[in-house]
Amino acid sequence: MGIKKLFALRGAVRCINSGEDIRIQVIKLYDEILLKNHIDEEDIVSLIFSVTSDIDAVNPATVLRKEGRAGSTALFVNQEARFQDSLDRVIRVLLHCYLDEGRTPAHVYRNGAEILRPERGA
């Protein structure tokens, strides 16, 4: 096993404010981040979600737990500050994890959130 280094990975997804769409989009975002970065869940240190004020149907951390994901990971959710012209219906994630040293982290933006960071989009 090689030397591992702590990384912070970013991601975001747009969704409809319904429990089902939030569930679908959060799981897809989480799975894609893990897949693109070859992350085992035991290498995740913490996961911070932020949601825009128009997302309140379900807590994204609760979604992961109910789906049997991130079982021993520290999860935190907060509401994003509102700014003029900010994108609505967005769930953002900041995932801290250990990856093999020398890896280039892959950030994931999906379902319309690519506009936030076009240089990092999927």
Query: Which residues are 103's β-sheet partners?
Result: none
Distance between CA atoms of residues 66 and 26, nearest Å: 12
Residue-level pLDDT at 20: 97
Query: Tokens 């936030």 sit at which residue?
Result: 116
- Fold type of domain 4-120: 60s Ribosomal Protein L30; Chain: A; (3.30.1330)
pTM summary value: 0.90
Domain ranges of the chain: 4-120
Residue 122 contacts residue 24 (beta carbons within 8 Å): no
Q: Taking residues 1-30, report their average pLDDT.
A: 94
For 69-118, how does the pLDDT look when each residue is reduced to its tens digit (9 = 90+)?
988 899 999 999 988 888 999 999 999 999 998 889 999 999 877 777 65
Please check the confidence at residue 40 and state whether its pLDDT lies above 80: yes
